[in-house]
Amino acid sequence: MTIPGALAELFSLAGQRALVTGASRGLGRAMALALGAAGADVVCASHAPGGAAETASALRALGREAWEVSADLADRDAVLALADAAERAAGRIDILVNNAGTIRRRPARDHAIEDWDLVLRTNLDATFLLAQRLGRAMIERGAGKIINIASLLAFSGGITVPAYTASKHAVAGLTKALANEWARFGVQVNAIAPGYMRTDNTRALREDPGRSSEITARIPAGRWGEPEDLAGAVIFLASRASDYVSGHVLVVDGGWMAR
User: What residues are annotated to the active site?
Assistant: 164
Q: SS3 letters for the chain?
A: CCCCHHHHHHCCCCCCEEEECCCCCHHHHHHHHHHHHCCCEEEEEECCCCCCHHHHHHHHHCCCCEEEEECCCCCHHHHHHHHHHHHHHHCCCCEEEECCCCCCCCCHHHCCHHHHHHHHHHHHHHHHHHHHHHHHHHHHHCCEEEEEECCHHHCCCCCCCHHHHHHHHHHHHHHHHHHHHHHHHCEEEEEEEECCECCHHHHHHHCCHHHHHHHHHHCCCCCCECHHHHHHHHHHHHCHHHCCCCCCEEEECCCHHHC
